[in-house]
């Protein structure tokens, strides 16, 4: 598994499409899931036998938390998804910089996303930060 992080609009997805043109793009954040079961079904339906680029991981976490998933349950699903797809590329915006939000839900979403990224980085074969379309290897 490969983990890419970087600021918004820094060319992460464009670089992934260039590097792996055959890859399928998974963007669960675009789903209109009304419950956590629908959201998780969109993960379950994703292919296992081809390269997959999971875009907007941070928005998936936000959606899952807003639908009432507990962080431990969410991590269990994410870890299982990642383990079943060794060629997976996970793309996530950096969301921990800047002003700390006043809303508790926003703080919780950022905190839980950060915790999951730490766990994903530990599992990843490589971690890169994309800045201005240029990858910088972290791991």
pLDDT at res. 80: 95
pLDDT at res. 30: 67
pLDDT along the chain (139 residues), means of 10: 96 97 88 84 88 96 93 96 96 90 93 97 97 96
pLDDT at res. 130: 97
pLDDT at res. 7: 95
- CA distance linking residue 6 with residue 132, whole number of Å: 9
Question: Going along the chain, which residue ranges are E strands?
Answer: 2-6, 24-26, 52-54, 89-93, 126-131, 134-137
pLDDT at res. 45: 87
Question: What structural domains does the chain harbor?
Answer: 2-137 (3.40.50.300)
């Amino acid at each position: 598994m490969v983990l890419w992080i970087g600021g918004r609009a820094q060319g992460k997805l464009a670089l992934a499409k260039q590097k792996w043109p055959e890859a399928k793009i998974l963007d669960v954040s675009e789903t209109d899931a009304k419950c956590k079961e629908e959201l998780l079904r969109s993960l379950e339906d994703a292919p296992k036998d081809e390269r997959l680029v999971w875009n907007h991981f941070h928005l998936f976490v936000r959606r899952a938390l807003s639908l009432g998933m507990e962080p431990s349950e969410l991590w269990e699903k994410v870890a299982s998804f990642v383990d079943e797809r060794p060629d997976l590329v996970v793309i996530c915006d950096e969301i921990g910089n800047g002003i700390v939000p006043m809303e508790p839900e926003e703080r919780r979403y950022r905190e839980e996303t950060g915790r999951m990224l730490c766990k994903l980085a530990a599992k990843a074969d490589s971690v890169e930060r994309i800045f201005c379309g240029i990858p910088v290897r972290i791991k």
